[in-house]
Chains A and B, each alone.
Chain A
Amino acid sequence: DSGVTQTPKHLITATGQRVTLRCSPRSGDLSVYWYQQSLDQGLQFLIQYYNGEERAKGNILERFSAQQFPDLHSELNLSSLELGDSALYFCASSPPPPSGYTFGSGTRLTVV
């Protein structure tokens, strides 16, 4: 157990639907990062939150949004899902200042 908890582990949903992925960071870590890993795209940075505030944004689609709550857990919301959104979504956390991440085990999203 890395200390970063992601739920659910697997998700199968239909095109056009909306899903929410959840992440609880390691105790003491204030930063949460979301990454998408597709078969042909490698690991792509989506978004970062630090202590409840959005800190950095990557190539995140407008259909995707995220937030970090006062208890520091984070949710990634994916809407109007397309087949191409099928991927492994990782959450990671780090302490301040960042010197490395701890990754969760990922959520495998399959859009059918």
Chain B
Amino acid sequence: AQTVTQSQPEMSVQEAETVTLSCTYDTSESNYYLFWYKQPPSRQMILVIRQEAYKQQNATENRFSVNFQKAAKSFSLKISDSQLGDTAMYFCAFMNPHGGTSYGKLTFGQGTILTVHP
């Protein structure tokens, strides 16, 4: 079974600075997807970024980028130029896109609460 671990329960950063959230996972699969989801106080789950394991290049979406280290099973999220609207809970998640009982299931980490201070 896959597991996802986020070792930082809470993080804080000053507006306009950069912050990195950590995530590690465990799987025996060679091809899979990794995600970062954001959950603001509204509780809506918002996809921030997606990484396909077979792609060497790290995914980027505007101010958000990942550092994907497949051998180390590490998937960190870097937020540049932090904004007050980035304040949220951030979840790392793993998906097995292939067949079997875990097909399509998202396994989430416990989340990291990020607070951006003015």
Contact = CB atoms under 8 A, between A and B. Distances in A.
A23 to B, nearest CB: 14
Sort chain A's interface into a size bin. Answer: 20 to 34
Contact of A33 (B44, B106, B109, B111): B106
Contacts of B111: 42
Contacts, number: 63
A61 B6 CA distance: 26
Interface string B43-57: 111110010000000
A99 B44 contact: no
B97 A97 contact: yes
Interface stretch (A63-71, A77-85, A101-109): A101-109
Interface in B19-54: 33, 35, 37, 42-47, 50
Contact of B43 (A2, A50, A106): A106
Contact of A100 (B42, B95, B102, B105): B95
A45 B47 contact: no
Interface residues of B, number: 24
B117 to A, nearest CB: 24
A56 B105 contact: yes
Contacts of B33: 99-100
B104 A56 contact: yes
Contacts of A98: 95, 97, 103-104
Contact of B106 (A45, A88, A97, A108): A45
Task: Pick the 3 closest A-B CB pairs, nearest first.
Answer: A98-B104, A103-B45, A43-B108
Given A48-B104, A105-B43, 4 more contacts: A42-B111, A48-B105, A55-B104, A58-B105
14 contacts: A2-B44, A33-B104, A42-B91, A42-B110, A43-B91, A55-B104, A56-B104, A97-B97, A98-B104, A99-B50, A99-B97, A100-B95, A101-B47, A105-B44
Interface of A: 2, 31, 33, 35, 42-43, 45, 48, 50, 55-56, 58, 88, 90, 92, 94, 97-103, 105-106, 108
